[in-house]
Structure 1
Amino acid sequence: MSQYITDTTKLKCDKGASPAPLTVTSQSFMSIDGKLQATEEDRQPNINIKPFGMCSVLRSSCTPLPIKWDNTSDFEIDGKKELLDCSTCYCSVGGKISIVKCTQNFVEE
C-alpha cells in the first residue's frame, strides 16, 4: 500500500550525488504525524526540492529543475493531488527525482 509523503521526506535524483529533504510549502493545514503533507505543487527548485550534490549530466551542482510530479494520489488537498511514496518527478536537465524514504511512523497493531 502506498504511503503519503510529508515534510522532510528524503528525495533522490538518479543524476545527483546525494539525497535531499523535501520541504512542503503547498499547503498548511493537512498533516500526518505532525508533518505537513506534500502535494504535486511542492516542486519549486531550492524551495521544495534542494540540490542533490554534483549532477552527472551538468558536471556541476545538481540544482533541480522539476517539471511535474507523476504517480500522484487520486485524492487532493485544496485542489492539489497528494504525493505518494511511488511519486516521481522528472527534471528538465534529464534526471528523475524519486522518494528515498518516507518520514511517516506507523504503529503495527
Structure 2
Amino acid sequence: MPQHVTDTTQLQCDKGTTLTTITVTSQSFMSIDGKLQATEDDKQPNVNIKPFGVCSILRSSCTPSPVKWNNASDFEIEGKKELLDICTCRCSVGGKISVVKSVQNFVEE
C-alpha cells in the first residue's frame, strides 16, 4: 500500500550521486506524526528539492529541474494532489526523481 510523502522524506534522482530530502512548503496544516504532507506543488528547485550531488548528464551539480509529479493521490490538500511514495517526477535535464523511503517506513531493527 502506498505511503504518504511527508517533510524530510528521502528522494533520489537516477542521474545524481547523492540523496536529498523534500521540504514541504505547499501547505501548512495537514500533517502525519508532526510532519507536513507533501503535495504536487512541492517541486521547486533548491526550495523543495535540493541538488542530488553530481549529474551524470551535465557532469556538474545535479540541480533539480522538476517538471511534474506523476502518480499522485486523488486526495487533495487545498486543491493540490498529495504525494505518495510511488510518485515520480521527471527532470527537464533527463533524470527521474523518485521517493527512496517515506519517513513512515523507517524501522529500526
What TM-score bracket applies, with the shorter chain setting the length? over 0.9
* Residues 105 and 93 of structure 1: CA distance in aligned 2, closer, same or farther (over 3 Å): closer
Listed one character per residue, the Cα deviations across residues 11-51 of structure 1 (whole Å, up to 9, x for unaligned) are 00000000000000000000001000000000000000000
Listed one character per residue, the Cα deviations across residues 60-103 of structure 1 (whole Å, up to 9, x for unaligned) are 00000000000000100000000000000000000000000111
Give distance in 2, aligned partners of 1:24 and 1:51: 16
Matched, 1:2 2:2: yes
Give distance in 2, aligned partners of 1:70 and 1:105: 21
1:80-99 correspondence to structure 2 within 5 Å: 80-99=80-99
Q: Which runs of 5+ in 1 are unaligned?
A: none
Q: Give 1:64's aligned amino acid.
A: P
Instruction: Report the count of equivalent residues.
Output: 107
Give distance in 2, aligned partners of 1:99 and 1:66: 14
Q: Compute the RMSD of aligned alpha carbons.
A: 1.4
Q: Percent identical across equivalent pairs?
A: 75
**Residue pair 1:33, 1:105 contacting (<8 A) in 2 also:** no
Q: Which runs of 5+ in 2 are unaligned?
A: none
Consecutive aligned runs of 4 or more in structure 1 exceeding 2 Å deviation: none
TM-score, length-normalised on structure 1?
Answer: 0.95
